[in-house]
Structure 1
Amino acid sequence: MTLPSSRLSRRSMFSAALSLGAATVLPTAAATGAARAATGSRRSDGRDGATAPRITDCAGWGAREASEEVVVLDTRPERIIVHHTASANVTDYSQRRAHALARAIQRFHMDTQGWIDTGQHFTVSRGAFVLEGRHHSLAALEAGDRLVRGAHCVGQNSVAIGIENEGTYTTEEPPAAQFSALADLCAQVCRQYDVPPSEIYGHRDFNSTACPGDRLHAMLPRLRQDVARRLGSAQPVGLPRWPVDLPVDWPADPAAPARSLAEYLPPGLLDPVRAL
């Protein structure tokens, strides 16, 4: 995800922040479909007429205004970078939880990190809700010809879409509904920007971090293939085309243990959950 200056363990700090009191709702296919019809979200057709996933915009989850103008680049992204929040793998799959998470991330990024807005472009909750992160990211995606400059991966913020996934996926996989929503979103990004499915990476592929967790990172080949199928191709997806302009903190040996960058929210930031 984002790269705060602190090197504290993000999971130990973040787990306490997400001890929420909202009711547990397990995501079934029907429940997920109903959830995506919630107020504050919108769905539009892609450039080829395909139906896009429903995405809640910043106004829909109660975002603050950015502290200064968000930079919108007149270029398309070259790739997608997948992250995880390294937060507790809660069983609160509600829309209320998803909105609270988005607000908490923005508060931390703006008030603690001093950034102008949320760092990533989009967030996928464990309940399969898809939310806009940084302002104007959804409008840019719908236009298909511009990119909001993010703050989610050193060296890639002007060339890559950052997608945050709620949870910690070091020893377990994300819920099926969440992974499916991630694939839907990635397919829409690929469709709108002509990004090939092979250009889907994990955060650790560019920076020295455990993100997006061993299990989710191991699922990236499956994610690329799922995205390709959503785009109408049954052909095997090739390996990523590794960029040559990697930042200096990228590990020389990707298989070596990565140091844990701090990607956490301070304890109590989401407690209690604040409704809109």
Structure 2
Amino acid sequence: MSFRKPSRRHMLLAGSGGLIAAALPGTAHAGARTARAVEPDIDSTSQWNARPPRSAPRLLNRRPTKIVVHHTVGPNTSDFSRAQAHTHAHWVQDLHMDDNGWLDSGYHFLVSRGGWITEGRHRSLSTLRGGSSFVLASHTSGQNEQSIGIASEGAYHDGAQPPAAQWDVLVTLCAYVCGQYRIAPTQIYGHKDFGTTLCPGVIHDKLPQLRSQVAASMG
């Protein structure tokens, strides 16, 4: 697999614990002022050679109001490469399409243990960049028409902590999503907030930290 020149992901991680201050002001749903964060490096479905969806994703012509964080309960691999991030994206898509019978990956985005971001459901990246619509995904019952689903590679039920690169890029991605869609960082939740599940494991306990770091990165 070929690698590009140093990307925005690496530049983001190089400064202030992976955080870049935002530049353009916006308005959060909660009434607080937000800003548009720098776009992280996100590998699109074409870049990781995703399977085509069974049908076209449904476009919702409005902004989501929250982010829901998950973990994928895959192995806590020590392979932090971009190739592994792509392998993981394939694993999730195959699981959701073949075992769950869904039209595509259930998540909008995935963050690998090595800090690589991949687009999950097709058109999630293009709509995020537009900032005024999003695609309906299948990550949280009762919340799919209102939220962006972001999943972290790995299993965090038993006290395991996400690697630093994964955490830093999760912060950066959430900041970018909040800025693009004018979501207040207080509106970042975990899957277990909306159902009987342990997901996202110990990451749920770190949600106050995640919200705080996202808010700080957005100024």
TM-score between the two structures when normalised by the length of structure 2: 0.83
Residue pair 2:131, 2:180 contacting (<8 A) in 1 also? yes
- Offset of 1:78 from its aligned partner? 0.7
Q: Which amino acid aligns with 1:188?
A: Y
* In the alignment, structure 1 residue 78 sits paired with structure 2 residue 65: yes
> Please, which of 30, 36, 41 is the counterpart of residue 54 of structure 1?
41
* Deviation string, structure 1 residues 130-166 (Cα, Å, up to 9, x no partner): 0100000001100000011010000001100000100
What does residue 182 of structure 1 align with?
170
* In the alignment, structure 1 residue 194 sits paired with structure 2 residue 182: yes
Aligned mates of 1:160, 1:149 — CA distance in 2: 9
Q: Which amino acid aligns with 2:156?
A: Y
| 3-state SS, counterpart of residue 104 of structure 2 | coil
What does residue 205 of structure 1 align with?
193
What does residue 161 of structure 2 align with?
173
Q: Which amino acid aligns with 1:145?
A: S
* Deviation string, structure 1 residues 19-64 (Cα, Å, up to 9, x no partner): xxxxxxxxxxx9x728x9xxxxxxxx98656421110000001101
Aligned mates of 2:183, 2:165 — CA distance in 1: 23
Higher fraction of strand = 2
Residue pair 2:37, 2:217 contacting (<8 A) in 1 also? no
What does residue 148 of structure 1 align with?
135
| 3-state SS, counterpart of residue 119 of structure 1 | coil
Structure 1: runs of 5+ lacking an equivalent = 1-29, 37-44, 233-276
| 3-state SS, counterpart of residue 46 of structure 2 | helix
Q: How many residues align?
A: 192
What does residue 6 of structure 1 align with?
none
Aligned mates of 1:205, 1:112 — CA distance in 2: 25
> Please, which of 69, 75, 86 is the counterpart of residue 99 of structure 1?
86
> Please, which of 95, 105, 111 is the counterpart of residue 108 of structure 1?
95
| 3-state SS, counterpart of residue 129 of structure 2 | helix
- Offset of 1:111 from its aligned partner? 1.9
Aligned mates of 1:50, 1:185 — CA distance in 2: 9
Aligned mates of 1:66, 1:77 — CA distance in 2: 22
What does residue 127 of structure 1 align with?
114
Residue pair 1:124, 1:178 contacting (<8 A) in 2 also? yes
What does residue 10 of structure 2 align with?
33
> Please, which of 105, 123, 130 is the counterpart of residue 118 of structure 1?
105
Residue pair 1:46, 1:192 contacting (<8 A) in 2 also? no
Name the % identity.
44
- Offset of 1:112 from its aligned partner? 2.1
Residue pair 1:126, 1:166 contacting (<8 A) in 2 also? yes
- Offset of 1:203 from its aligned partner? 0.2
- What is the Cα-based RMSD across aligned positions, in Å? 1.9
Who wins on radius of gyration, i.e. which is larger? 1
TM-score between the two structures when normalised by the length of structure 1: 0.67
Residue pair 1:76, 1:193 contacting (<8 A) in 2 also? yes
* Deviation string, structure 1 residues 71-95 (Cα, Å, up to 9, x no partner): 0100110100000011221111011
What does residue 230 of structure 1 align with?
217
Structure 2: runs of 5+ lacking an equivalent = 1-6, 14-21, 26-35
